[in-house]
Structure 1
Amino acid sequence: MAIKLSLADRWRKFWTSSEKQTNIMQIHSSLNNYSGPSPVITMGTFDGVHPGHKALLEKVKELAVAENTESLVITFWPHPRQVLLQDAERLRLLTTLEEKTKLISETGIDHLMILPFTAELAAYTAQSFTEEILVKKLHVKHLVTGFNHKFGKGGITFNELTELSHKHNFQLTQFRHVDVNGDHPSSTKIRQLLLEGNIGGANHLLGYPYAISGTVVGGQRLGRTIAYPTANVMLQERSKLVPPDGVYACRVKVIGKLFNGMVNIGVRPTVNHQMDHRSIEVHILDFNRDIYSEEIVVYFEKRIRDEMKFSGIEALKEQLQKDEIIIRQVLIKRK
């Protein structure tokens, strides 16, 4: 399956669809509060909800309509690697739970079940998970798996899963990968591109601009003295992936509107003498409102340069003026 849209068309579609009301998807936090019909089910972490995930979810929806039932997605929170302590400190997520829920809702899925991932759940074998949860609890009618999806302690082969489907009388479909203009999107590959600062490559595989969200908090207010006031962003999720230090062209959603902006990520070497934390500071172009404590979303478009240390405030201001010129040109081209 190939997705062939130009970058401009894909971005236009994203900004248009992101303003639409999301599907009225029912969200369940327990196996006991699902009372719908025997559903078509798929499951996974779905970090990023990239085009590969979306194509899988579209297949689930199509099967649900064809079989006169409803679609159900099972996902897990926190991420299984965090519970299983599989290099958990290095894991960085493409989407928070709220972002993932919104993206899945926008696909038109009927039900999303967010199962708390615990050590107890991790102890289930694939067979016991299938029999005790999918069959007995949810009465699965049709299970759709990704081509490389593994679940359950010890895993399971597709042939073994096929035998279980015959034994318990549910349909089984294995969904193949999706090709996006010659590339196969994966959450791992997208994370790596972002960590390298390759925003364009990551956005290409995501199918939408990578974003971070948080709350505007107080800062040193230095930007106001050089005509570049910034909003300091406090992230909502500790494990959210933040691109490498540097300056980026971005779009900013705040107070319900979308603006152009420039964002600096780093330790602010010119003015920060403690050097003990990274900051995320956004200057919103052509904007002068006080947005302290407001929720903010920053969509990354392009990395402009590395973070730099300057001889003083005037040198910093001169560089910011140069950055602004470049960023305005970038954002005009991306419309």
Structure 2
Amino acid sequence: MPRDWSTADIPDQTGRTFLITGANSGLGLETAKAVAARGAHVVMAVRTPAKGEAAAAAIRAEVPGADLEVRRLDVADLDAVRSFAEGFDSGIDVLVNNAGIMAPPRSLSRQGHESQFATNHLGHFALTGLLLDRLQGPNPRVVTVASLASNHGDVYFDDLTGERRYSPTRYYGQSKLANLLFGIELDRRLRAAGSLAKSVMAHPGFSSTELLQNLNPVVRLIGKVMLPFVTQPAAAGALPQLYAATEPKAEGGQYIGPNNRSERKGPPVVVQARKEAYDPATARRLWDVSEELTGVRFPLPATT
């Protein structure tokens, strides 16, 4: 039986550049630390630079000489995404669309989009499209981080902002299903264009991260008692996206998650998303809507 995949299996990343959104905490921080330890140049794209610099200092304390760069990016704000992309003039080997929020009260982004849809999907859709021509190297990748919550979400095309029937958890599920639909459709379009780039998706299982802070107080209180028994630490939760980003055997269109039966814990393996995530008609509809809402057009042919 093969040994479980771990950070020890990450190949040498010297000379490669990783752009990781939300790299100041949780899964993003663990991902940045792991690839920096293998020699990568890591661009930590964070909403609050002071937190990013503190996170970078923490990484350097564990990984002396880590090659880190902190840049401000609020993925919820499409104007900020565009400004970031316009000011980013270097190549990228791996883009990790990691930043996210979960289950906040209903609010809208600066452009009027529901905050979870704006942060988790639209901002990363726009960032990927604007930086697609910066992907470089022999094995460039886009890694989009989804969630088990995608199993319980739908895309509410008739109410994307949640104006009529907002639910924090249901609209989190919408944003995470959108991540999968986007990532899988991106892979289809990259293949149709003959691109060397791969689009790979990952989810962390049930991991203990700061995303849980938006749950209601009663659930948080219960969580403090129960979470240690049902979750895995962020370092373990980051393994699927690290596999997606660095494992030579990872293929475009794959979805990587924990290996136990419920996909809540365990080392990374290839898993299957729910069937709705593979529906090309829904994916094309979401793609068209996302291009309209962001104003970002990808230089890739549409699929049929």
Normalising by structure 1, what TM-score?
A: 0.30
> Which has the larger strand fraction?
1
Q: Which structure is larger by alpha-carbon Rg, 1 or 2?
A: 1
> Which has the larger helix fraction?
2
